[in-house]
Amino acid sequence: MSLDDTSFTHIADKTLESFMDAIEAVIGDQADVDLEGGILTIELDTGGQYVINKHAPNRQIWMSSPVSGATHYDFDTDKEQWRCTRSGEFLDEKLVAELKASTGVAVRL
């Protein structure tokens, strides 16, 4: 089942806000975390920048990662998670694994 525009906006905004809060709380001393205009930016002190944003025309969340490159995520209504359109990986799990590898700290999203 695909999301309508209102549901997409609500779920995507909630996702980005919760990611920002969790990441800032746990690794805020190792990264500059900012959410502005629907774009979440995570700049690691060790180098590398993540950009995670909602892409309304496709009703997706897109992530640009210094580790894995660009990926696109559709909302899986059964799992209530964002799933990669290519690999099937979940956005939160991928981001947690990459941040832990970069910072040594486990973030819970």
Given a cut of 80, whether residue 2 has pLDDT beyond it is no
d(CA 64, CA 84): 12
Counting residues of the chain whose pLDDT is more than 70, the rounded percentage is: 99
> pLDDT of 68-104, one tens digit each?
999 999 999 999 999 999 999 999 999 999 999 999 9
In this prediction, residues 43-48 reach a mean pLDDT of: 95
Decide yes or no: CATH 3.30.920.10 for domain 5-90.
yes
The pLDDT value recorded for residue 107 is: 96
The pLDDT value recorded for residue 1 is: 56
d(CA 16, CA 52): 8
CA dihedral 92, 62, 45, 105 (to 10 degrees): 10
> Cα 40–45–49 angle (5° rounding)?
35
The pLDDT value recorded for residue 30 is: 96
Q: Are 99 and 18 in contact (CB under 8 A)?
A: no
The SS3 of residue 86 is coil
d(CA 101, CA 96): 9
Query: pTM, whole model, 2 decimals?
Result: 0.94
- Closest by alpha carbon to 18, among 56, 49, 58, 61? 61
Q: Where are the domains of the chain?
A: 5-90
The pLDDT value recorded for residue 3 is: 87
In this prediction, residues 30-41 reach a mean pLDDT of: 97
